[in-house]
Structures are given as C-alpha cells and as structure tokens.
Chains A and B, each alone.
Chain A
Amino acid sequence: MPLSLAVDNPSYPKGTPLGINGLGVVENGSQVVISEETEERFFATNGISVQDAFKDQEGYTITGNADFDAPEPEPPTESPTVETVEDTKEGDV
C-alpha cells in the first residue's frame, strides 16, 4: 500500500488548502497519496523522511509503506578533544 497522508487540523476550515514544504498542497480534511518522487523531494527539502516528520503530529496521519529509503543521517563531526592539564602548585611535586 503506498504512503498516504490524511490531514485534519481543527484550526482551519475543512477544505482549506494547506501547503506543506516539499509535499505540495493538501486540503484540510482530505487524504493524499505520496509518490516515491514526492517522498524523495520531501526528504531533500526538509532533511527528514515524511514518516518521521509526521509521526507525532496530531491531526496528521501517515499510513502505508514508504517506497523511498531515506539515507541514514551522517554522524555528527567529533569536536577536537582538549586535554585538561591539572594545575600544579608549588610543593605538589
């Protein structure tokens, strides 16, 4: 079953066109099927997959299976380590 997004946001009247970056326009109260190409464009635009973007969004329901395999995020660049030098006081040695 292809991926689809159902939108029901009570703050807007039913039928209001809602623009979602990288996804297009979805009418409030409706459901759209998301193609693999759209999934890919959404990831390129937002840096996150459609499923991850909406997984906790109340009123926005994702169903179906993704066709697009989002690449794993790159691990963060490690900061150079700074060695700490213990203070030495006269008489410690």
Chain B
Amino acid sequence: MPAGIGGGGWLALTFETTMGTYLPPTTAGTLWIPILNEDLRYREDKYFSPQIRQQTIVSDVEQAPYHVEGDIRLEVDAQFLPHLMYCSRHIIVKDAVTYVGDSLIAYKFTPGQQGSASTHASGATTRTASITIVRNGIGFGYAGVTFGGYVFTIENGVLVVTLNAFGLSEEDPAGLGSPSWVDSQLFGASAHSVYVAAAGASPTFAGADVNFEGFTFTNTFNAAAQNRLTPSRAATYISYGETDGTYSSNLDFVDKTEYTSMKNATRRAIRLESLRGPATWATATSGVRIDINNSVYTDYPVNLGAMGDLIMAQSTGRAIGVAGGDAYSISVKSAVDIT
C-alpha cells in the first residue's frame, strides 16, 4: 500500500453494551466524529530479562500487560459532544427542550463519584466506547474507551477540546463499513461569552466580563488503566481518582480587586458560554456552557514583562466543592438524542 496522509483517515465511536467488548464501525448507531488529530495507541512496557549470564545486554523479552491511551483533539460540535461526555465520570441529566419547532436536548454533566468506568445499554448513564481509527486505510480498534480528562480551550476563536482517552484493549476491526458525515456546527469567535459571579450552589451570572483573553478549562479524573492477571494482557478496568478542575486565562490588569481575591482565597464562579444561533442559552440552536460554580484563584501573577508589553495577569484557578451543588457543570444543548 502506498504512503497515506492524515486527511484520508477517520475516527468512529460506538457505545458499548458490555465494557471492553469491541464493536466495529459497522454496528448500528456508530458516530463518525471529525477530529483534528489523535495519538491513541497501544501502550506496553515489555519485559526485558536482565539475567546475569556473562553478557552486559538484556537476553530475552516477554510481552507485558498493556492498555490503550492517548489524546484526541477536535473542534467542539454539539452534534458529537454529548456522546463524548457520556464516556467519562459524570452524573448525567437529560431534559427535552423545544425551540422554534426543533426538538433539542439539554444535557447537563456534573462530577460523579464512581471509582471506575462502566457502561450501560441505555439511559442517561455513563458508557464506554469502542473507537475505531483508520490510518492509511488500515483499521485500529480500541475497546473499553473512556475519557479520563479533557481540556476545553479557545484556539483562534474556535472552541476546541482535547480528550484524554484510556482503553482496555486493541482489536482488529472485522469490517470498517462506510462513514457518514454531517455538516460541522462549530463555535466560532462570535459564540463565546465569559461571566464572573459570586460563588454558590447556583451562582447568578449577570453581564458578560470582557477582560478575558482566552479561556481554558482543564479537568482530569486522574484515570489509570488497571491490569490484573489475565492471559489477554489487556487492562481489566479504568480507575478514576481525584477530580481536579482548573481554569486559566489572561486578564487585563486594571485594578487590584481580583489580585486581592487571589490573596484572600475569595470564592468565585466563572462561566464560559458558547452559543450558535440566537444569543441566549434559552433560544440558541446549540450550545455549550461550562460553569465553575465555586473556585479560587491559585495564581494571579502581574509583572512588567517588557517596555511594550501589556500588563496582564496570567490567572489560574481551581474548582472546589460546594455544599448542595456541584463544583462545576458542563451543559450541552444539542439536537442529538441519546437514549
């Protein structure tokens, strides 16, 4: 086969009904998701025997336990984000909403407490996925995939997410089928607003704050592949650890209010809202809303960089729990109905 390039490749996601049982992209309900890049791969630390036998080089090799891990980066699109968010540690609430005759679904994802990934055949509950990636016409199947963390950020005005994927095993797809693609519905520069409010279980966000230069929300569940003794050598499950949500942005430094908030550990709520269509959440045709309901600045450095440099604060903050509420929530308004 001649050499290939990335553009000819594709990625497909299929929800699993049994965790770790690989489903090829010929399975009903497969979703073909446009991506920017990926580095999902087989990971194994092979055993090299260091026997002492009058040689100064390893003398044998054995296969070792393995798992699958890597990042998948894509432009956020509400036609795909709900499926991706189902494959992570979240409590999921799903509400039907209607706008101008269109049936839309409002999904809300809040931090869960599960110790490991699991899947279900139906319902607003977490799933694992089989992910198939075709590289130069050759299929790679990854089973039992869950997302152990993600980074939402704005790149050149477009909302982008990087998903940190963990999988149990690698399989050869029996068939690759034929992909179907929908028109993209991205969140561009005119889609975004950032809000700041007093922290609480249900913060009241008023007018948008226009001092944010960029916004990045990073969340990790500190996932890890757990290998137990089994002849397949594949991972047995994916564990979750502490949830760690942070955000960062550059802010124009115009007064000491937020700097003092950092020193005093004053609680803040922050929202990044990205909408398509009309400019309110209620009427938007699709949207993503990241609410960090309770947080503190962990750093707020202000310095004189150079004679011509703007004086900006490279702020970072961390989400913390809130009694009777959620440290953060990710809401997605989408036409896609996951049953």
Query: Footprint of B on A, CB under 8 Å?
Result: 7, 9-13, 16-21, 26, 46, 53-54, 56-60
Tally of B interface residues using CB under 8 Å: 22
Q: Determine whether B83 belongs to the interface, using a CB cutoff of 8 Å to chain A.
A: yes
Q: Which residue of A lies closest to B335 (CB)?
A: A13
Q: How many A-B residue pairs have CB under 8 A?
A: 59
- Whether the Cβ atoms of B180 and A13 lie closer than 8 Å is no
Closest Cβ–Cβ distance, residue A14 to chain B (whole Å): 10
B103–A13 CB distance below 8 A: yes
User: Ordered nearest first, which 4 A-B pairs have the shortest CB separation?
Assistant: A58-B28, A18-B180, A53-B178, A57-B177
Residues of chain B having any CB pair with chain A under 8 Å = 26-31, 79, 83, 103, 174-175, 177-183, 335-337, 339
* 11 A-B contacts (beta carbon < 8 Å): A9-B180, A11-B336, A13-B336, A13-B337, A18-B180, A18-B182, A26-B180, A46-B178, A54-B177, A56-B26, A58-B27
Main SS class of interface, B: loop
Chain B neighbourhood of A56, CB < 8 A: 26, 174-175, 177
| Selected contact of A9 from candidates B29, B175, B335, B339, CB within 8 Å | B29
Contact: A60 with B178, CB < 8 Å? Answer: yes
Contact A18 B28 (CB under 8 A): no
Assuming the A-B contacts A11-B29, A11-B83, A58-B27, are A19 and B175 also in contact, with contact meaning beta carbons closer than 8 angstroms in the complex? no
Which of chain A's residues have a CB closer than 8 A to the CB of B180?
7, 9, 18-20, 26
**Inter-subunit contact A12/B28 (CB<8 Å):** no
Which of B28, B79, B83, B335 lies at the interface centre, i.e. has the most chain A CB atoms within 10 A of its CB? B28
- Contacting residues, chain A, for B178 (C-beta < 8 A): 20-21, 46, 53-54, 57, 60
Kindly provide the distance from the CB of A24 to the nearest chain B CB, expressed in whole angstroms.
Answer: 11
